[in-house]
Amino acid sequence: MKIANYELKRPDELETPVLIVYEHLVKKNISEILKIAGSPDKVIPHFKTHKSIQVLRMQIAAGFRSIKCATLREAEVLAENGVSEILIAYPMIHPKKLKRFINLINNFPDVTFKLIVGTPQHLEALSPALKSNNSQIGVYLDLDTGMRRTGIQPGKEALEMYSKISQYSNIIPLGVHVFDGQALYKPDLQERKNIVSETLNSIDQIWEHAQKNNLNISDNVVAGSWTFHLYPDRPNIRISPGTWIYWDSRNATMEELNFDVAAIVLGQVIDHDPQKDTITTDIGSKACSPDQPTEHRFKLIGYPNAIVTAQSEEHGVIKLNGEKISIGDYVLAAPGHACTAVVKYPYSLVSDPSGEIIGKYNHDARDH
Ligand SMILES: Cc1ncc(COP(=O)(O)O)c(C=O)c1O
């Protein structure tokens, strides 16, 4: 079958729903980010999008040495596979997690691990755990410039928190971490540029404070896929998007970027409701991006007017709006959010450009 630029041989042999990754498009996306960033040293890709050792190897081969992650499982897989700098961008409080982290740093003494902290409680949990092991760790101040998820608000509180980090002998402040998730899905480029410039102002305030008070500061880690290309090329800025590796139908609405959707779901139409002008596919919420609003969970490639109107675990209902798709047809769905599509599958099948399945990427770091 061929839909738009996606070819797939013998879909009858692939039990649906199944995630298929086009390796040549992954490689294209890697060269695209290198074109934008200028050097792999400027990028700390987030591992959570693909969670796969094989894709990690492609990233390492392209020169990426530093990788960001959210879970300890991701950090373990990264350490076991030759990553020299690992940033766990997720606050760690639980004693079991801290113990696991200490084991990790003991098992991989040549790897530089870094963390984020956003409140005094993070420091209070981390410092004794490090002390019991005689370890020291570098951390970024997690600054919340508008997403309202984790991190400290810019201003006086953030400056005080930066000073507070410096009071711990086993926790070294490195700079600022910002995930500016408030820019997600904002089509207006100018609006996103404004978010970036506000974020930079808040970061600069912390740098001024650190330099005035002789506090250690050396670099910042910022951004996801909706802003990374809008940050200026500054020696103290490294960008940390993740979704770029596979891209997805929502990110593809950013007209200024030229990445390709590399991971798609093959599904099949299993029923229809002519009265309602809908078809029902086997791409349910267990198969694709359930974190998104229903209409954005996936887009059927080649049928621009078709819209997802309902999903249950194993069913995806699609309003046709004039498109012609019949029971038994195979469909290719571009996920609305690559990361939360990938995590639904223990592995993806790998296709060459002609649609021949040539292998598998295991989602090695799928669990916590
Ligand atoms: C802390 C953090 N950094 C970076 C990213 C990567 O952003 P994106 O998925 O938009 O590329 C994410 C994504 O959720 C994140 O949570």
Q: Using one digit for the tens of pLDDT, what is the confidence trace for 177-211?
A: 999 999 999 999 999 999 999 999 999 999 999 99
Which residue's CA is the nearest one to ligand 1's atom 13?
A: 224
Residues of the chain with CATH 3.20.20.10: 24-245
237-239 and 171-178 strand pairing: unpaired
CA of 346 to the centre of ligand 1 (A): 21
Q: What is the mean pLDDT of residues 113-128?
A: 98
**Pick among 3.20.20.10, 1.10.1040.10, 3.40.50.300, 3.40.50.2300: CATH of 24-245:** 3.20.20.10
State if residue 241 touches ligand 1 by the CB under 6 angstroms criterion: yes
* The pair of three-digit structure tokens given for residue 62, joined into one six-digit string: 């392209």
Strands (E) in the chain, as ranges, are: 2-3, 6-7, 18-22, 66-69, 85-88, 112-117, 137-142, 171-178, 219-222, 237-239, 263-273, 278-281, 298-300, 307-312, 315-319, 330-335, 347-351, 357-362
Q: Which residues contact 220 (CB under 8 A, 6 or more apart)?
A: 140, 175, 176, 177, 178, 203, 236, 237, 238
pLDDT band of 105, cuts 50, 70, 90: very high
What pLDDT is stored for residue 305 in this prediction? Answer: 98
137-142 and 112-117 strand pairing: parallel
Q: What is the mean pLDDT of residues 288-305?
A: 98
Query: CA-CA distance, 290 to 317, in Å (whole number)?
Result: 14
In the chain, the amino acid numbered 149 is: R
pTM beyond 0.95: yes
pLDDT band of 248, cuts 50, 70, 90: very high
Q: What is the mean pLDDT of the chain?
A: 98
State if residue 224 touches ligand 1 by the CB under 6 angstroms criterion: yes
pLDDT band of 284, cuts 50, 70, 90: very high
pLDDT band of 239, cuts 50, 70, 90: very high
Q: Closest Cα partner for 231 from 289, 180, 295?
A: 180
Give residue-wise pLDDT tens across range 7-44. 999 999 999 999 999 999 999 999 999 999 999 999 99
What are the distances in angstroms from CA 7 to CA 1, 11, 146, 190, 355?
6, 10, 41, 36, 5
Residues of the chain with CATH 2.40.37.20: 2-20+257-362
What pLDDT is stored for residue 117 in this prediction? Answer: 98
Which residue's CA is the nearest one to ligand 1's atom 16?
A: 179
Phi and psi for 177 in degrees, rounded to 5?
-115, 130
State if residue 345 touches ligand 1 by the CB under 6 angstroms criterion: no
Q: Which residues contact 180 (CB under 8 A, 6 or more apart)?
A: 145, 146, 147, 195, 196, 199, 222, 223, 224, 226, 227
Write the class of the CATH domain 2-20+257-362.
mainly beta
